[in-house]
Amino acid sequence: MGIAAALVRSAFLVNAVYAESGREHGLTPQQGQLLCVLMAQPYGMSELGAMLGLAKSSLTGLVDRTERNGLVRREPDPRDTRAVRVSLTARGSRLAEEFYAETCRRIEKLPDGLSPAERDTLVRLLGRVVLDNEVPVVFQAPDDGAAAAREQ
């Protein structure tokens, strides 16, 4: 299998896990992504659009639907009175944590057939691809939250 097929097929595999975990938590894959992004901090609409790769109208619809479900709220941006930031509600935060933990558990099982050394190599190489391509932090590593807390 070539690199293109391997990466595309692995993306499909991860997306399938993400969708299955989302269904079990009553979320669309896009809502799951939104909640995972907002776990780190509230973001403005333009920041969210860039991170999630969504057009303004698509993002507005996503936030509207997620807000109607009581998972996120819009709040004024303290730096720009014309703008809003999107943050998790208490219910959204609980659901995000549950969804995130379950999704991590399932994704971490995908390379079970690899040895510990092969897993380490896979993590290192995929990490380089992600960093080299400046992929936004749309899904934190389980230890990112602890590292961020130590930096404060």
Whichever domain contains 81, its CATH number is 1.10.10.10
Q: Which of 134, 129, 127 is nearest to 51 (CA)?
A: 134
Q: Look at the chain and report how many structural domains it folds into.
A: 1
34-50 burial, b if ≥16 CB within 10 A, otherwise e? Answer: bbbbbbeebbebeebbe
Output the tens digit of pLDDT for each of the chain's 152 residues. 899 999 999 999 999 998 999 999 999 989 999 999 999 899 999 899 988 889 999 999 999 999 999 999 999 988 888 889 999 999 999 999 999 999 999 999 999 999 999 999 999 999 999 999 988 777 776 655 443 433 33
Q: Give the per-residue pLDDT at 149.
A: 38
Residues of the domain holding 65: 3-151
Residue 87's CB: how many other CB atoms inside 10 A? Answer: 15
Q: Is 152 helix (H, G, I), strand (E, B) or coil?
A: coil
